[in-house]
Structure 1
Amino acid sequence: MALLIVLCLLRTDLAQANTDYIQEIESQVRTAALVDLAAENSDTEVDLFINPINPSLSLARCTTPLDIRFPYKSNQRLTARVSCGGSKPWSIFVTARVRLWKQVVVAARPITRGTQLTPNILTLSRVDTTNRGADYFTEIGQVSGQKAKRSIGSDQPILMHDLEPALLINRGDKIVLEANRGGVQIRVSAIALEAGSLGEQIKVENLQSKREVYAEVSAAGRATIK
Structure 2
Amino acid sequence: MEKQPQLEQAQGKIMKVRIFFLVFSVLGCPLSSMAYGNIGAEQIKARVSVFMDDYVVKLADDYGNNVRIEYAISHLDTRLAMKDCPQPLEAELNSRNNIGRINIRVSCNEENNWSLYVPVDVDLFRPIVTTIAPIAKGDELTRNELEMREMNISQLNGVYFSAMEAVTGMQAKRSIRADKVVLTNDLEPPLLIKKGEQVQMSARSGGLVVKITGVALMDGHKGQQISVRNNQSKRVVEARVSGPGQVVIQL
Q: TM-score, normalised by structure 1?
A: 0.67
State the partner residue of 1:122.
146
**Aligned-pair CA distance for 1:220:** 1.9
1:152 aligns with 2:171: no
Q: Call closer, same or farther: CA 1:210–1:122 in 2, change over 3 Å.
A: farther
Distance 1:52 1:183 in 2: 70
State the partner residue of 1:200.
225
State the partner residue of 2:242.
218
- Picking from 34, 39, 45, the partner of 1:26 is 45
Q: One-letter code of the match for 2:52?
A: A
Offset from partner CA, 1:182-209 (integer Å, 9 cap, x none): 6333335555453212232232554xx4
2:217–2:226 Cα contact (<8 Å) kept? no
Of Structure 1 and Structure 2, the greater helix share is in 2
Offset from partner CA, 1:156-194 (integer Å, 9 cap, x none): 111122123321112344443323356333335555453
Distance 2:212 2:115 in 1: 77
Q: Call closer, same or farther: CA 1:96–1:73 in 2, change over 3 Å.
A: farther
Higher radius of gyration, 1 or 2? 2
1:143 aligns with 2:167: yes
Aligned length, in residue pairs: 208
Cα RMSD over matched residues? 4.0
Distance 2:103 2:213 in 1: 65
Structure 2 gap ranges (5+): 1-29, 31-36
**Aligned-pair CA distance for 1:48:** 0.9
Distance 2:101 2:224 in 1: 42
2:136–2:175 Cα contact (<8 Å) kept? yes
Q: Call closer, same or farther: CA 1:195–1:24 in 2, change over 3 Å.
A: same
State the partner residue of 1:50.
73
State the partner residue of 2:207.
183
SS in 1 for 2:149: strand
SS in 1 for 2:204: strand
- Picking from 156, 180, 186, the partner of 1:132 is 156
- Picking from 101, 116, 129, the partner of 1:77 is 101
Distance 1:37 1:133 in 2: 22
**Aligned-pair CA distance for 1:216:** 2.8
1:34–1:48 Cα contact (<8 Å) kept? no
Q: Call closer, same or farther: CA 1:92–1:224 in 2, change over 3 Å.
A: closer
Q: One-letter code of the match for 1:69?
A: E
Structure 1 gap ranges (5+): 1-10, 12-17
Distance 2:211 2:156 in 1: 46
Distance 1:213 1:73 in 2: 47
**Aligned-pair CA distance for 1:96:** 2.3
Distance 2:113 2:233 in 1: 87
Q: One-letter code of the match for 1:50?
A: I
